[in-house]
Amino acid sequence: MYSEGWIRCPGDGGCCSDASTGSANNGTYTCSAGPANGTNAATVTLQFPGTAIYVYGLSPYINFTEMKRVATLDGQEQHGFFAPDAGGLSNVLMYSKSGLKNTTHTLTIGPSDVTQFFLFDYATYTYEETDTSASPAAATSTPDNNLKKEPNLIWPIAGGVIGAIFVFSTLMILIHQFRSRSAVSRRRSAQMTQLNSTDELTPEPRGETQLSLAFQPVPPLRQAPAAAEDTQPQPFTALQHDIQALSHEIQEVSRGVEDLSHAAAEDIQPQPLTTLQRDIQALSTLQQDLQALSHEIQEVSRGVEDLSHDAEASQAVGADLPPQPHGEHQPTAEIGMLRERVEAIEQLQLHLQASLAQETAPPAYTPI
């Protein structure tokens, strides 16, 4: 709202020729070049809702040492002055105030006295958006639509950044959960594949008083060929095959003994069975013998491998492999002794099976 003493430029006023019209906002501005009502300088009143206001104008071509102006904001006088470096400037900040409460304010501004020029162009203000359900702010009077709104973008930008961080965090959590479930699914699939690849064990049906035990038969042992004392040792590859076969037979016998031990321990009858208990103890001793025998087979296998490497090295340099001495350290003789121990263990296993089946069988029933 303008007081008296203002001139619309471009026009015929004396102050309009002192500034460049083309550089003004929308090509027009207002000029205060005389007193209002013959006593006071002309003023312009701006009413705005917000937290800050900025008043812009033009500097005249006439060279003044300073351009004094006076302003009143919400009834409190604001002192200061403006001194441009040169004339003919546009978008010159004449007055500014920030840090206000987000309410409606009233600013009155003009030259300090009647001898000063004041070329007013436009003003902008910032405000903080409130809830849409709240009552609307008071109407704003703007002189010739020269008051512009500039919304405060701090809160929208902060909200956008926070939302982006939340979406990114949620996406990372979902990706982590998906990878964890995929890993668990792969482990379960691998476990199911292992279970399906192993032999299925079918338990034998049992009655209330009758016990039935099923044992896997022990595969027949390979017979060691008879060799005279002056016979040369077998080739190292044949010895290694014999050791592997003997190790496999030991594993089969060990599994049969272990199954026999578990079956005897789980299905024992409540009445005292002293002989069966002794057989179970014998099974335990048999398992220990099998373990010791397995270690001995490993030692013999390592010795055969060393001899095989030595033989290959001798052949590489054109030397003849020296004959192996006959004795307790000869691989062929050690394999023969190991076979005898396996046969003895097999006989003990068959004896324990028969003894366990006899002592756990139900008593004979004679009809009256």
Question: Quick one: 118 and 23 in the same domain?
Answer: yes
Q: What's the confidence (pLDDT) of residue 279?
A: 64
CA distances from 177 to 165, 180, 182, 191 (A): 19, 5, 9, 21
Give me the number of domains the chain comprises.
2
Question: Does pLDDT of 165 surpass 90?
Answer: yes
Of the two residues 93 and 228, the one the predictor is more confident about is 93
Task: Report if residue 355 sits inside a domain.
Answer: yes
Q: What's the confidence (pLDDT) of residue 206?
A: 46
Of the two residues 285 and 151, the one the predictor is more confident about is 285
Question: Does pLDDT of 345 surpass 70?
Answer: yes
Instruction: Tell me what the mean pLDDT of segment 264-291 comes to.
Output: 63
Q: Which two tokens stand for residue 218?
A: 């022990």
Task: Report if residue 201 sits inside a domain.
Answer: no
Q: Which domain CATH number covers 49?
A: 2.60.120
Give SS3 for 67: strand
Phi, psi of 326 (to 5 degrees): -85, 135
Question: Quick one: 140 and 250 in the same domain?
Answer: no
Which residues on adjacent β-strands are paired with residue 69? 111
The alpha carbon of residue 293 and the mean position of all alpha carbons in its chain are separated, in whole angstroms, by: 50
Lowest mean pLDDT among 177-186, 225-234, 304-313: 225-234
Q: What's the confidence (pLDDT) of residue 123?
A: 92
Q: Which two tokens stand for residue 69?
A: 């102006």
Backbone CA torsion sign across 250, 252, 254, 257: negative
Task: Report if residue 212 sits inside a domain.
Answer: no
Phi, psi of 132 (to 5 degrees): -70, -20
The mean of the pLDDT values for the chain is 68
Residue 36 is part of which domain span?
6-153
Of the two residues 339 and 37, the one the predictor is more confident about is 339
Task: Report if residue 335 sits inside a domain.
Answer: yes
Question: Quick one: 117 and 244 in the same domain?
Answer: no
Give me the torsion for CA of 132, 133, 134, 135, rounded to 10°. Answer: 100
Domain boundary among 153, 185, 220: 153
Task: Report if residue 252 sits inside a domain.
Answer: yes
Give SS3 for 182: helix
Question: Quick one: 11 and 143 in the same domain?
Answer: yes
Question: Quick one: 144 and 249 in the same domain?
Answer: no
Is the CB of residue 257 less than 8 Å from the CB of residue 288? no
pLDDT band at 27 (very low <50, low <70, confident <90, very high): low
Backbone CA torsion sign across 313, 317, 318, 324: negative
Give SS3 for 175: helix
Does the reported pTM lie above 0.75? no
Q: pLDDT tens digits for 195-247?
A: 555 444 444 444 433 333 344 444 444 444 444 344 444 455 666 676 777 77
Q: Which of 68-77, 146-155, 299-308 has the highest mean pLDDT?
A: 68-77
Q: What's the confidence (pLDDT) of residue 173?
A: 93
Q: What's the confidence (pLDDT) of residue 159?
A: 86
Question: Quick one: 245 and 145 in the same domain?
Answer: no
Question: Quick one: 136 and 242 in the same domain?
Answer: no
Say how far apart CA 81 and CA 112 lie, in whole Å: 9
User: Residue 57, class by beta-carbon neighbours within 10 Å (0-12 exposed, 13-18 middle, 19+ buried)?
Assistant: buried
Q: Which two tokens stand for residue 273?
A: 């069975």
C-beta neighbour count of 87 within 10 angstroms: 15
Task: Report if residue 185 sits inside a domain.
Answer: no
Question: Quick one: 267 and 136 in the same domain?
Answer: no
Instruction: Tell me what the mean pLDDT of segment 179-194 comes to.
Output: 72
pLDDT band at 85 (very low <50, low <70, confident <90, very high): low
Domain boundary among 120, 153, 186: 153
Is the CB of residue 282 less than 8 Å from the CB of residue 242? no
Angle of CA points 81, 105, 101, to nearest 5°: 100
Q: pLDDT tens digits for 128-146?
A: 887 655 444 433 344 545 5
Place of tokens 């910032």: 126
Buried b / exposed e along 182-219 (16+ C-beta atoms within 10 A): eeeeeeeeeeeeeeeeeeeeeeeeeeeeebeeebeebe
Of 122, 126, 110, nearest to 56 by C-alpha is: 122
Domain boundary among 105, 132, 153: 153
Question: Quick one: 30 and 148 in the same domain?
Answer: yes
DSSP 195-213: HHHSPPP-PPP--SS----
pLDDT band at 43 (very low <50, low <70, confident <90, very high): confident
Is the CB of residue 44 less than 8 Å from the CB of residue 108? yes
Question: Quick one: 133 and 15 in the same domain?
Answer: yes
Question: Does pLDDT of 107 surpass 80?
Answer: yes
Say how far apart CA 366 and CA 148 lie, in whole Å: 118
Question: Quick one: 131 and 252 in the same domain?
Answer: no
Of the two residues 314 and 132, the one the predictor is more confident about is 314
Give SS3 for 171: helix
Question: Does pLDDT of 50 surpass 70?
Answer: yes
Say how far apart CA 1 and CA 108 lie, in whole Å: 9
Task: Report if residue 181 sits inside a domain.
Answer: no
Task: Report if residue 208 sits inside a domain.
Answer: no
Q: What's the confidence (pLDDT) of residue 201?
A: 43
Say how far apart CA 343 and CA 221 lie, in whole Å: 8
Question: Quick one: 126 and 259 in the same domain?
Answer: no
DSSP 52-65: EEEEEEE--SS--S
Question: Does pLDDT of 163 surpass 60?
Answer: yes
